[in-house]
Amino acid sequence: MRERTQVAIIGAGPAGLMLSHLLAQAGIASIVLEDRSRDYVENRIRAGVLEEGTVGMLDDLGLGERLHRDSLVHEGIEIRFGGAGHRIDFPGLTGKRITVYGQHELVKDLIAARVGAGLPVRFEVSGVRLEGIDGETPRVRYRHDGADHEIDCDFIAGCDGFRGVCRAAIPNGQIVGYEREYPFGWVGILVEAPPASPELIYAHHSRGFALLSMRSPTVSRLYVQCDPGDDIAQWPDGRVWDELEQRTSVPGAGFRIPRGPILQKGITPMRSFVAEPMQHGRLFLAGDAAHIVPPTGAKGLNLAVADVRYLTEGLAAWYRDRSTTLLDRYSERCLRRVWKAQRFSWWMTTMLHPNPADSAFDRKRQLAELDYVTTSEAAMRSLAENYVGLPFEPPGLN
């Protein structure tokens, strides 16, 4: 089967689905291809912290109803170290807030709206191949429902994640990858229990980092620092709970973490990655296909949304008057934001995680930095400004 569209989107994660809706709003046709099943994509548990800019984009698309009904709006975070907690007040410092809404719930909303509008999104495709990305008539070949298919298009959006086929389709020597591996990982558990606190708690402890987060009023997401080479079998439930309690305790405060059935458990390695440029010919990378950040700064999903916002602006200009200015500047605009998010995520990660290789001097310096960040209004404002999300770059900015 052969068909034509304006933009072929590879990947039905947040980047690909958001792009499909932004393009539809701009009157640009697209087809979304995804190698996983709809059930898998809709139930894949990931981060859930949305910046105000991300929420605003969903509202503009008319997709924020369930989000506003079921999400949790947070006005700060707490940083714990040395047996005491310190709150960072987002509205007081920046006038902004964050919204906690599970990524899988957002994906459900985006898929339901796409399918409800009768727009094509195809799951469980295989053998995706990109052709002609250096020319003006790129093509995507794939198999679906036992048959061969091909899509002729004007552009291809690679939104298929870090290990997808799109970045790999760029010829050798045309793209550079910048990467950093961190000497720690996270054991994460999803728990059927109410949150331990109304807001996220980031805890630095000599035993390691811990994070108390949530996905809803009845489901919590909890993490403890581990060695990235650990096997999950080394972390039985009892050990995870004990470490969470020890690393987040505040003497005399009577603080306890609500417990419940563990619904999911796994180990997440910590890494940073950036591909430059994020485009080649008629192929444009977005989201995890182009960059990975440590989850400490809650930037991954929000960076993906910013990418597709900039890509939509470029495509809209091209279809409107054949201007290539914004498409030519796509990488430049995205990477300016990406590297700022990488800097913030690296800073949050290295400030909060004890590094086994650190000297006694390094550990003292780390505590001094935590003390400074939680007592200086200027330092707290810098943290808050980055956490709630930097402003989007206007299309006309040079």
DSSP annotation of 390: P
299 classed as catalytic: yes
- HEC readout, 98-134: EEECCHHHHHHHHHHHHHHCCCCEECCCEEEEEECCC
Measured from the Cβ of residue 394, the count of other Cβ atoms closer than 10 Å reads 8
Q: Is 138 left (phi over 0), alpha (psi -120 to 50) or beta?
A: beta
Measured from the Cβ of residue 385, the count of other Cβ atoms closer than 10 Å reads 16
Which residues have C-beta within 8 Å of that of residue 229, sequence separation ≥ 6?
A: none
Query: Which residue among the candidates 21, 149, 204, 299 is catalytic per the annotation?
Result: 299
Query: Which residue among the candidates 101, 202, 310, 319 is catalytic per the annotation?
Result: 202
Which residues have C-beta within 8 Å of that of residue 70, sequence separation ≥ 6?
A: 101, 105, 216
Tokens of 129: 């191949």
Query: Which residue among the candidates 101, 142, 319, 387 is catalytic per the annotation?
Result: 387
Instruction: Give Dmax (Cα) for the chain.
Output: 69
Query: Which residue among the candidates 295, 319, 330, 353 is catalytic per the annotation?
Result: 295
Which residues have C-beta within 8 Å of that of residue 379, sequence separation ≥ 6?
A: 372, 373
Checking DSSP bridges between strand 201-203 and strand 76-81, what pairing results, if any? Answer: parallel
Which residues have C-beta within 8 Å of that of residue 302, sequence separation ≥ 6?
A: 49, 50, 51, 53, 54, 341, 389
DSSP annotation of 392: P
Query: Which residue among the candidates 74, 104, 144, 340 is catalytic per the annotation?
Result: 74
202 classed as catalytic: yes
Active site residues per annotation: 74, 202, 295, 299, 387
